[in-house]
């Protein structure tokens, strides 16, 4: 297998993970609209900034999710880059859930109620990348949102919205399905490359075995009849 394929650049993939970090022991509460909330441990009031360090990718997610809850928006785990050398994620973008725009599709029926607009092209985000030290560092921070922010109600501890609209759930299902298909294709490609390497190793091993057998046979002939070998020379 060519070595260049192992040293290729990082690949960019999209992922639409739900960014809400659920507190296992938290008890659900409800607001005046009947929407369910779950409380999470309070964190520092510090804002993100370029150069801020985290011990892990997960720590960065928890921090930005708490910031989003405090400011008044919902975080979505977005794109990432993966190292082709070991397959580990080394770059991650965390965005507002109103980032991007929903793809327009033909309506199946004129009587069908149009879906609510859930994405408005918001640019707010942070980008974190893994350094050689193992730390995750904020390399980009966009603070401004293009929509109204709605701080989440607080009941003793900071809380965040857990419920999703049916439209958001449909979008989530489609995003996860697409991601699953991409990962399956990637796994199949890696398996094919691995099978090719194993076949080449097996062929090389068989070739070496045949050469060794020939050498051993020649040595046995020399030992059994050295005079005949001398006459041939």
- Structure confidence at residue 23 (pLDDT): 32
What are the b/e assignments for 82-119, b being 16+ CB within 10 Å?
Answer: beeeeeebbbbbbbbbbbbeeeeeeeeeeeeeeeeebb
- Structure confidence at residue 81 (pLDDT): 92
Structure tokens at 126: 């942070």
- Of 42, 12, 120, 137, the closest CA to residue 76 belongs to 120
- Structure confidence at residue 27 (pLDDT): 34
- Structure confidence at residue 13 (pLDDT): 40
- Structure confidence at residue 146 (pLDDT): 87
Q: What is the mean pLDDT of the chain?
A: 72
- Structure confidence at residue 61 (pLDDT): 93
Structure tokens at 10: 């990082």
Residues of the chain under the 50 pLDDT cut: 1-43, 154-163
Report the 3 state secondary structure along the chain.
Answer: CCHHHCCCCCEEECCCEECCCCCCCCCCEECCCCCEEEECCCCCCCCCCCCCEECCHHHHHHHHHHHHHHHCCCEEEEEEEECCCCCCEEEEEEEECCCCCCCCCCCCCCCCCCCCCCCCCCCCEEEEEECCCCCEEEEEEECCCCCCCCCCCCECECEEECCCCHHHHHHHHHHHHHHHHHHHHHHHHHHHHHHHHHHHHHHHHHHHHHHHHHHHHHHHHHHHCHHHHHHHC
Longest Cα separation, the chain? 107
- Structure confidence at residue 189 (pLDDT): 87
């Amino acid at each position: 297998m060519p070595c260049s394929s192992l040293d290729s650049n990082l690949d960019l993939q999209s992922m639409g993970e739900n960014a809400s970090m659920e507190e296992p022991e938290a008890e659900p509460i409800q607001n005046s609209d009947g929407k369910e909330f779950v409380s999470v441990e309070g964190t520092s009031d510090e804002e993100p900034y370029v150069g801020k360090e985290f011990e892990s990718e997960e720590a960065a997610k928890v921090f930005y999710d708490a910031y989003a809850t405090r400011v008044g928006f919902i975080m979505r785990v977005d794109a990432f880059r993966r190292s082709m050398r070991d397959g580990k994620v080394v770059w991650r973008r965390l965005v507002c859930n109103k980032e991007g725009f929903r793809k327009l599709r033909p309506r199946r029926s004129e009587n069908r109620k149009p879906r609510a607009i859930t994405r408005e092209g918001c640019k707010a985000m942070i980008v974190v990348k893994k350094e050689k030290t193992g730390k995750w560092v904020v390399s980009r921070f966009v603070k401004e949102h293009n929509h109204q922010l709605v701080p989440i109600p607080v009941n003793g501890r900071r809380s965040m919205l857990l419920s999703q609209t049916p439209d958001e759930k449909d979008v989530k299902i489609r995003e996860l399905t697409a991601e699953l298909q991409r990962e399956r294709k990637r796994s199949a490609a890696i398996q094919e490359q691995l099978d090719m390497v194993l076949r080449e190793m097996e062929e090389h091993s068989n070739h070496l075995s045949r050469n060794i057998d020939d050498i051993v046979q020649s040595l046995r002939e020399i030992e059994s009849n050295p005079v005949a070998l001398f006459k041939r020379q």
